[in-house]
Amino acid sequence: MFMFGCLIVRYEPQTWNFQASGLLSSVLFLYFYSMRPSKLLLLRGILFTAFLFIAFWTLAPGLAKNLFPESQFYSGTFLITRIFCWFIVGILWNYSNKMEQRSLLILKPQSQKPHFYYFSVLGLIAINYTGAIILSYILMYFKWQPGGDHEAKTMIGLFKNNNSLLYLTALTAGVTEELIFRGYLQTRIAELLKGGVWGIIISSLLFGLMHISGGSILSAIFPVYIGLVHGIYYQKYKNMHVVIVVHFLWDVFALYALLYSERL
């Protein structure tokens, strides 16, 4: 790859896109070649996770079309993506144990008194809620529309008369998303780039991208904020149980608020 890149740059000087691609391939080759095996293993795990999300979310509509009637297409797609989240957790758990030779959760929490967990949950919910209000006012001030109206209507139809499904959905999101984005991606990115801040930022951006709805990048703003808050907490206190509980409660609150808004 390195020789090919040099040949492109040398023999096609008039073609700037060839030059750029040749230079990029050379830089990437040197970067990967210089990486230690442990770093390559981390990079493969991160890229593999991204591939799983892209593959599963691409396959979900096709599976829903074949498995559900047309009237249940969107609800079927939603259900399939929730199931895929559990599959991804299982795959990453196996990858961590078999390939990395360690646990998926590499940050070990310190023992705390019971009131610590109580105040942690309340504090994170308060920070999430305050940030959500501020971001909502900013969006309204600039008249930005986050989008996702169709997805909201689909979720209202799903949960309107089904509390069990609502709680199961919130539990799935709380457990799987925190394990994937905070437990795996954040810690591996931080280890790869030798910086906890980078792990928090990049994993939060990826978390936001996963929640884009209606084709609007603005719909990722709230998830990115939540990802940053939970990421900072997890980096500092290394406690996965707290962020899972907060994520679950936050989703329950958000889904009930969505159902309540539909009645107004």
Residue 198 is predicted with a pLDDT of 95
Q: For the segment 50-92, what is each residue's pLDDT rounded down to a tens digit?
A: 999 988 888 988 998 898 888 788 888 888 999 999 999 999 9
Residue 23 is predicted with a pLDDT of 56
Name the H helices within the chain: 2-11, 16-34, 37-67, 73-98, 114-141, 149-159, 163-172, 187-193, 196-210, 221-237, 240-263
Joined together, the tokens standing for residue 219 give 């719909």
Residue 3 is predicted with a pLDDT of 36
List the domain boundaries for the chain: 1-34, 36-263
Distance of CA 78 to the CA centre of its chain: 16
Residue 224 is predicted with a pLDDT of 95
Cα separation, 259 vs 264, in Å, equals: 9
Residue 46 is predicted with a pLDDT of 93
Q: What parts of the chain have a pLDDT lower than 50?
A: 1-18, 21
Length in residues, the chain: 264
Q: For the segment 99-124, what is each residue's pLDDT rounded down to a tens digit?
A: 999 999 999 998 889 999 999 999 99
Residue 165 is predicted with a pLDDT of 86
